[in-house]
Chain A
Amino acid sequence: DIVMTQSPDSLAVSLGERATINCKSSQSVLNTSNNKNDLVWYQQKPGQPPKVLIYWASARESGVPDRFSGSGSGTDFTLTISSLQAEDVATYYCQQYLRTPITFGQGTRLEIK
């Protein structure tokens, strides 16, 4: 199984400041058939299902504010929120979809400092 490990588990950032969440996979999630990383970032707010923010590690989903960006390749990935807004308080998950079992990171809880 591909193990996904996020850091930190929780994060407090001031409004307008940058938030950075890391995700590391136990093996590469690069899909050699299309040379894309099969890595997605979700945002989840209490009582709601996850919402797609970033797919293929760095492609922003339609409608997602451009303060959200994803980077990385192979086994190391980062989700960055360039200027934290109050509505960004949530838990963030990375997930690999290269192979089953599909696996998620443990989540990073983002709060306002």
Chain B
Amino acid sequence: EVQLVESGGGLVEPGGSLRLSCAASGFTVTNAYMTWVRQAPGKGLEWVGRIKSKPERGTIDYAAPVRGRFSISRDDSKNTLYLQMNSLKTEDTAVYYCTTYSWVVDSTRGNWFDPWGQGTLVTVSS
């Protein structure tokens, strides 16, 4: 069974840092496009960024609001994705979801997000 489990959320002061983790099972993150999506309280879904698979050089793309402050990486030995968040702002407060492309378990499927983790809450407040 394909599963994603996020951890590392919590309360941090503005300007602080936090690292989120996403442990994957049922597939290898090395061969997947791994993505972070966030959702501010009571708001909609916002794409944060993506790391491509190793065969595609692991190219990383970020959304404009987080570029230069957030960093996506993975540890292939642990089959885990990370989101390093620096210089945090109050507007970064959100539930952060880890997700991947649906073709990771079935190559006939496409580039929509499935499955998703349950999310981890990050609160930036003084």
Contact = CB atoms under 8 A, between A and B. Distances in A.
Contacts of A95: 45, 112-113
Contacts of B114: 52
A55 B112 contact: yes
Contact of B119 (A38, A49, A106): A49
B24 to A, nearest CB: 15
Contact of A49 (B35, B97, B109): B97
Interface string A95-112: 101001111111100000
A97 B63 contact: no
B44 interface: yes
Which of B45, B47, B109, B113 counts the most chain A CB atoms within 10 A?
Answer: B45
Given A38-B110, A40-B112, A101 B45 contact: no
B118 interface: yes
Contacts of A36: 110
User: Contact residue range for chain B?
Assistant: 20 to 34
A100 B50 contact: yes
Interface residues of A, number: 22
Contacts of B47: 100-104
What is the interface of chain A mostly: helix, strand, loop, or mixed? Answer: loop
A50 interface: yes
B117 A106 contact: no
Nearest to B62: A101
A37 to B, nearest CB: 11
Interface in B47-102: 47, 50, 61, 63-64, 97, 99, 102
Given A40-B112, A55-B112, A97-B111, A104 B45 contact: yes
B116 A49 contact: yes
28 contacts: A38-B110, A38-B111, A44-B45, A49-B97, A49-B118, A50-B45, A50-B113, A50-B116, A52-B102, A52-B113, A55-B102, A55-B109, A55-B110, A55-B112, A93-B45, A95-B45, A95-B112, A97-B110, A100-B47, A100-B61, A101-B61, A101-B63, A101-B64, A102-B50, A104-B45, A104-B47, A105-B44, A107-B45
For the complex of A and B, 8 pairs with smallest distance between CB atoms: A49-B116, A40-B112, A102-B47, A97-B111, A104-B45, A107-B44, A55-B112, A52-B114
